[in-house]
Amino acid sequence: MDGADLVYAGIARQAELIRSETVSSRELVEACLARIDLLDTGINAFRVARGELSLAEADQADARTKAGEERPLLGVPVAIKDNVDMAGEVTTHGTRAHGGPATADAEVVARLRAAGAIPIGRTHLPELASWAFTESATYGMTRNPWSLDRTPGGSSGGSAAAVAAGMVGGALGSDGAGSIRIPAACCGLFGLKPQRDRIALRPFLEHWHGLSVLGPLTRTVADAALFLQATAGGEGGPPPPVPSFVEAAGTPPGPLRIAISLKAPVQGARVDERVKRPVHETADLLRSLGHTVTESNPDWGTIPNAVTVRYLCGIRDDAAEMAHPDRLERRTRGVARLGALIHPAVLERTRRAEAGQTARLNAIFGEHDVLMTPVLLQPPVEVGRWEGRGALATVIGLATTFAGAFTSPWNLTGQPAASVPAGLDADGVPQSVQLIGRPNDEATLLSLAAQLEAERPWAHLRPPLP
């Protein structure tokens, strides 16, 4: 197995290879670092690769393997989005407004380390994870490995680009309005937004007033299940499922009732025919597998407005917490000013209304087990589409022409949702669909997505790269 094949194998297979001593952790880390050196100048996925540190940790993992120690991700490298703390390292949040090094690992990083994973580097994001593209004045443009003139999405675009380009087998992302699912869709990956609090956010609590979660971007469903199994848990989180996430991904779902909706909840949003097509094609595949598929639209109500309030207030809060807020980009400061215009009573009313809005939206699950929608409003757009635009123009432009409309409601409700690859379009760019499950039901999403993967495999597809 050459270096590219090894990295493209995904984290579940990599863990098996290391466990059986077919491949050493050092060999795998060296293969990842070689791919980063070869490709990242043109893609710009990583802010920093932890070369020598990662190799030293790989040697330690190999010693543990030889000693018979077993951990689910022992010796497996993963990428960490650069808004998640790692002890002794700067967390930039995609901006030069950051402060000094973190004093401790975030809980998710501590859990990855406890599972044996090796954080190989920090991946790019837009300032304060604000946008559905990954571009900043400080760190430049991150590009889509499938088409370098297109965006990989955002805000976890660096993580998605790194996995799609075969620089690492899996990566950590965060999702406040679609920031895992959008880049996964742009880059042909499986991206899972877990149930709220499934993966602890500490040291950040109630980030973006309850919208934000952490989760994996991976090549396969099995990879995501293993990642989630290793990182789930923490004080105040939902109870773990029975069976486990890994078992769920390996268990057929049985006949399900699946609703499809192509109606965007955001007023004025335009849904491109090119993103409708994979939804219809996937619906036909699901019917052939014995599922009942019908068209049915959720009662969106005023959820887009409620999401916008929390998003703007969240950026306002994040901007104020930066060590050097004066160094933020003009557009980011503009979003923070919009958030400052929202009276605390408005935010409080929005939070109080969450239960009723969630119940109304989830009424669709009274007659259906899963909802399927597009992820994006159109295929991945060109990099720099919103370069030089102001805060309001960017917010409105993204929500009505590209991304966020179909993904953000499920951040408000907190329930799990996933971006599932659906092949390539005529331009060779990834297509996708979004699956949304009932609250706390990642298990059904993993099971159904794995069934789709078995019938319509995607992990063998690779961008046109060396």
Instruction: List the catalytic residues.
Output: 81, 155, 179
* Burial class (CB within 10 angstroms; exposed 0-12, middle 13-18, buried 19+) of 197: buried
